[in-house]
Amino acid sequence: MTALSTVGKSVPRIDALEKVTGKAKYTIDEGVGLPGMLYGKVLYSPYPHAEILDIDTSRAEQLPGVKAVMTGTDVPNVRMGRVVLDQHVLARGRVRFVGDAVAAVAASTIEAAEEALDFIRVEYKELPAVFDAEEAMRQDCPIVLHPELASYKSVSFSELRQDLPGPNVHTHHKIRKGNVDDGFQKADLIVENRFSTCRISHCQLELPNSTAYLGGDGTLTVWSSVHLLFPTAAQISNVFGLPPSKVRVRANYFGGCFGGSPRAYMFAAMLALKTGRPVKVVFSREESFFRDLHRLPKVIYIKDGVTRDGTLLAREMRLICNGGAYADATPQIIRNGSFGISQYRIPNVKWDAYGVYTNEPICGGFRGYGNSQPFWAIEQQLEILAEKLGMDAVDLRKKNIVKEGEKNLRGEITHSIGAEECLDKAAEWIGWGKSSEAPGGNLKIGKGIALGNKYTMVDTVSASMVKVHKDGTIEFRHGGEESGQGCNTVLSQIVAEEFNVPMHKVKVVWGDTSIVPYDFGSVSSRTTFFTGNAVRLACQDAKRQIFETAAPRLGAAPEDLATGDGTVYVRESPEKAMTISALFMPEAKGAQKGALLVPEEGEILGRGMFYIEGVTDEDFETGQGTKLTASYGYAAQAVEVAVDSETGIVKVLRWVNAFDMGTPINPKLCEGQMEGGAGMGIGSALYEELVMDNGKILNPGFRDYRFPSTKEIPSGNNMKSMTVEAPHREGPFGAKGAGEAAMTPSAPAIANAIYNAAGVRITDLPITPEKVLKALRASKK
Amino acid sequence: MKQLIKLTVNGAEEEVLVEPWWDLAYVLRERLGLTGTKVGCNTGECGACTVLVDGKPVNSCLFLAVKASGKAVLTIEGLQSANRELHPLQEAFIEHFAVQCGYCTPGMIMAAKALLDENRSPTEEEIKEWLKGNLCRCTGYTKIVEAVLAASTQMRGVGK
């Protein structure tokens, strides 16, 4: 293989210039200042559980400027959902959480729309509500959120709706491997614990928004600030009964994503269809907290059996997941959140994970997609085991990490695993095993480490198209979403590499379902892997056409040609060359004067489609399969913290990331993912929690929901990021995903460091000063 | 009752008819088409909407437009020099990969400019203290702090 010219280099982001000059357009900038725009606002349930007895919109409708008021019966009676179809766009007859949408208004000004909400009279009959997932899960729970659950359709994973222990349970995911009872019997040490995680919110800075236009031909164009453009189009098409060809979803840059998907687009779409006018809906920050799909809170019971020498023999896990009032992506998050634990070799495993309805807000994908929560449990559990065995915690992990070629606990053959090297690098940088300098006084210093990973989903498709322009520019189109992760830059690097052209000769077209080929979307750390492969195949298809056209002119066979610097040339005799532009030129001499050299349509258009071959269905009785994921990226993080024994305040002093993302396409962008993931990880560990009171969020704003500022994250010499390269044979140039593994080990690494510093172990997130103080006091008794 | 305000935005004089409750961010974005200024909370908690009014950083989402009357407003669109050269902060943000989604970037750069105008050689800690009101969810701030440090070094060099 020849040396790579662009892939593997930290070329600057192609969108950086427009972003630092304020020229970059975000989805929220669509339609700004447009005359005739209507503004949509939504009325939400103030009750966690209630029957709607009556809605009177007559006074609201008469207000000046109000163009439409809609309630549940104005929307087709179609339930939506990612897995289980259980939710109406606007509630019909019953509301199930504080924030369930009840009515919507479109008006000529934002103020008029807001005022109209005050004039909608809704008569509710409050119903008893349930907020605790373990309580809601019981067979005899008197409160049932969806009495008609059995009649709801599933669009996927219907197998997860078997063996449900109670009427509020919508998901049960199982893993059965070996025999855990035998394993525990043979174990020298058994440790059991309970861990829990809380609700957290994505807090992407762009306010969730959507702008919808109904075109003259009946096409509904919806600008949406959330990822998954094609699935969004499908959902709009399904709910409003529009042919897929009449729904066009568009996006500009996103002001962050992280899996967050507050769906302003359904409201904008519905109001535009109703009024025939352009409608813009922008959520307030408060709205974006309760309409966000939160990270799924999980209660995790874990029991591990291990031999004296630290070999894991058996693990039993039971996870109860509070998905809130509607299932949305929760069933898939529960199932996909099981992949992370495969990084260790465990011969006997029993896993039962349940998704439960409660009268709390809905949950959805969040960076890590269900995996950060089990890591919170298992990466602390391993430290507990190590201490009891008198073993080093890094050694214990390394002893049990699966090896290349080994079958993991789900039946997949492990490939591309740099986990051990990640651990080694992180441990070395932090000075693992060396005690920290003690500053004395109230401050206790300690170190912690943890290992995580994130799979990339297997069962999706990406397509791409390449158009070669006469000026030698290579344009490519893709259906992923640029939410800041840098996919437009990375994909452009792949194109530049394939054509051997400089970056400025590559042009990217994206963010419009009517002009880009299908892609599942920028989720599951899949864009580099899937879309990258599709783009690469499209390049190769375009090059094939160039070679076939140029071959007769260059007197060589197509397979002997190559491209470089805007030319096509004979690989073995590079002096035999012609510019790509010349392919489009009228022929001066030759058979057909004036004809284009390119094929009859006058275009070079390459197509590429990528999906994984040999995908097997999971056996949902055992959780076993042979190809359940596309790849795994691994992440080790180590940290040094200071715990103030007087106040319980924990400060992160030093931080190291060591990640295996396969071959990094752009190392600096990978660093950005690691550092950003660390920031979010620190937030999730120490500061972030949506505080709930009877189903209501008490802190829906940045002042009270505190995610880290500059002050809480180490920088400069105290923040280090390193890569380990375990190339993946199916990844483009060996690359794997980078975005999501980034916070999977963060919280347990911090918890382990706190234990190391102060001898207290916190098992429920977040690790607040109050919890630390309480634990410190208890430990002194 | 709407009233006419006169203000200077990025060096150009502007007259805008505003409602008394309109904030500066709204006027910049919706009336003057300067969408480079971003709004992330509308409650002064995230700093994305930071612009300079008479050289001082303000949260434009909380700053009433009428209060800007007679004042000079500088937004991200006005930061490049007259011959379109990038400000050293803009260059440093590109070079140091301090931009991810970029939504906080305009406010972050404007806030950092106010710092460097006041303090030509801030320490890492001073930068972090100054920017603590500008939230970024993508980067973990590491590269932002790096970029501001690099820009301050660059600007001192130029000023010699």
Question: For the domain that residue B13 is a member of, what is the CATH number?
Answer: 3.10.20.30
Q: What is the pLDDT of residue B157?
A: 87
Q: What is the pLDDT of residue A2?
A: 59
Between CA A377 and CA A391 the distance in angstroms is: 19
Instruction: Determine, yes or no, domain membership for B143.
Output: yes
Average pLDDT over residues A463-485: 95
pLDDT category, A597, cuts 50, 70, 90?
low
> Residue A710 is nearest to which of B30, B42, B131, comparing CB atoms?
B131
| CATH number assigned to the domain comprising residue B119 | 1.10.150.120
Hey, are the CB atoms on B46 and A485 less than 8 Å from each other?
Answer: no
Give residues 460 to 499 of A whose Cβ lies within 8 Å of B.
483-486
Q: What is the pLDDT of residue A499?
A: 97
DSSP string, A692-736: EETTEES--STTTS----GGGS--GGGEEEEE-----TTSGGGB-
Hey, are the CB atoms on A285 and B95 less than 8 Å from each other?
Answer: no
Instruction: Determine, yes or no, domain membership for B70.
Output: yes
Q: β-pairing, A605-610 with A692-693?
A: unpaired
Backbone phi, psi, residue A388, to 5°: -65, -30
pLDDT at A592 over 70: no
**Which residues in chain A have Cβ-Cβ distances shorter than 8 Å to B99?**
13, 15-16, 19-20, 484
Residue B36 belongs to what domain range? 3-77
Interface check for A53 against chain B (CB to CB < 8 A): the answer is no
All residues at 6 or more sequence positions from A554 whose CB lies less than 8 Å from its CB, including other chains:
A561, A568, A569, A570, A576, A577, A578
Interface check for A739 against chain B (CB to CB < 8 A): the answer is no
Average pLDDT over residues A402-410: 98
Whether A308 and A186 have beta carbons less than 8 Å apart is answered as no
> Residue B142 is nearest to which of A256, A709, A715, comparing CB atoms?
A715
Interface check for A680 against chain B (CB to CB < 8 A): the answer is yes
pLDDT tens column, A109-164: 999 999 999 999 999 999 999 999 999 999 999 999 999 999 999 999 999 999 99
Share of chain A above pLDDT 70, in %: 97
Whether B56 and B97 map to the same domain: the answer is no
pLDDT tens column, A696-736: 999 999 999 999 999 999 999 999 999 999 999 999 999 99
Q: What is the pLDDT of residue B95?
A: 98
Nearest CA to CA, how far is A395 from chain B (Å)? 30
Give residues 689 to 718 of A whose Cβ lies within 8 Å of B.
701-703, 707-711, 713-716
Whether B143 and B105 map to the same domain: the answer is yes
**Which residues in chain A have Cβ-Cβ distances shorter than 8 Å to B38?**
26, 28, 205-206, 255
Instruction: With H, G, I as helix, E, B as strand and everything else as coil, classify residue B137.
Output: coil
Average pLDDT over residues A192-220: 97
Q: What is the pLDDT of residue A720?
A: 98
pLDDT category, A598, cuts 50, 70, 90?
low
Report the helix count and the strand count for chain B, using DSSP H and E. Answer: 5, 5
Average pLDDT over residues A674-688: 98
Whether B72 and B132 map to the same domain: the answer is no
For residue A508, the cross-strand partners are: A476
pLDDT tens column, A271-301: 999 999 999 999 999 999 999 999 999 999 9
Q: What is the pLDDT of residue A588?
A: 46
Angle between helix axes A746-758 and A769-780 (nearest 10 degrees) is 40
Instruction: Determine, yes or no, domain membership for B55.
Output: yes
Q: What is the pLDDT of residue A590?
A: 45
Between CA A269 and CA A232 the distance in angstroms is: 11
Hey, are the CB atoms on A205 and B136 less than 8 Å from each other?
Answer: yes
Last residue of a domain, one of B77, B104, B134: B77
> Residue A205 is nearest to which of B40, B90, B131, comparing CB atoms?
B40
Q: What is the pLDDT of residue A589?
A: 46
Instruction: Determine, yes or no, domain membership for B160.
Output: no
The rounded mean pLDDT for chain A is 95
Whether B11 and B69 map to the same domain: the answer is yes
pLDDT at A599 over 70: no
Give residues 243 to 282 of A whose Cβ lies within 8 Å of B.
253-258
The CA-based dihedral angle spanning residues A724, A730, A732, A734, taken in that order and rounded to the nearest 10 degrees? 20
Instruction: Determine, yes or no, domain membership for B57.
Output: yes
Q: What is the pLDDT of residue A439?
A: 79
Interface test with B, best of A13, A21, A686, A704 (most B CBs within 10 A): A21
Hey, are the CB atoms on B97 and A701 less than 8 Å from each other?
Answer: no
Average pLDDT over residues A72-89: 96
Whether B68 and B106 map to the same domain: the answer is no
pLDDT category, A780, cuts 50, 70, 90?
confident
Interface test with B, best of A19, A28, A110 (most B CBs within 10 A): A19
Whether B70 and B93 map to the same domain: the answer is no
Whether B71 and B115 map to the same domain: the answer is no
Nearest CA to CA, how far is A752 from chain B (Å)? 21
Instruction: Determine, yes or no, domain membership for B114.
Output: yes
Number of domains in chain B: 2
Hey, are the CB atoms on B97 and A13 less than 8 Å from each other?
Answer: yes
Whether A682 and A767 have beta carbons less than 8 Å apart is answered as no
Whether B120 and B61 map to the same domain: the answer is no
pLDDT string in tens for chain B (160-residue length): 899 999 999 999 999 999 999 999 999 999 999 999 999 999 999 999 999 999 999 999 999 999 999 999 999 999 998 898 999 999 999 999 999 999 999 999 999 999 999 999 999 999 999 999 999 999 999 999 999 999 999 999 865 4
Q: What is the pLDDT of residue A1?
A: 45
Q: What is the pLDDT of residue B159?
A: 52
Closest CA to A379 of A765, A648, A750: A750
Q: What is the pLDDT of residue A379?
A: 98
Instruction: Determine, yes or no, domain membership for B8.
Output: yes
| A vs B: CB pairs below 8 A | 192
Whether B55 and B114 map to the same domain: the answer is no
Q: What is the pLDDT of residue B158?
A: 66
Last residue of a domain, one of B77, B110, B130: B77
pLDDT category, A678, cuts 50, 70, 90?
very high
Average pLDDT over residues A28-49: 96
Hey, are the CB atoms on B99 and A678 less than 8 Å from each other?
Answer: no
pLDDT tens column, A516-562: 999 999 999 999 999 999 999 999 999 999 999 899 989 999 999 99
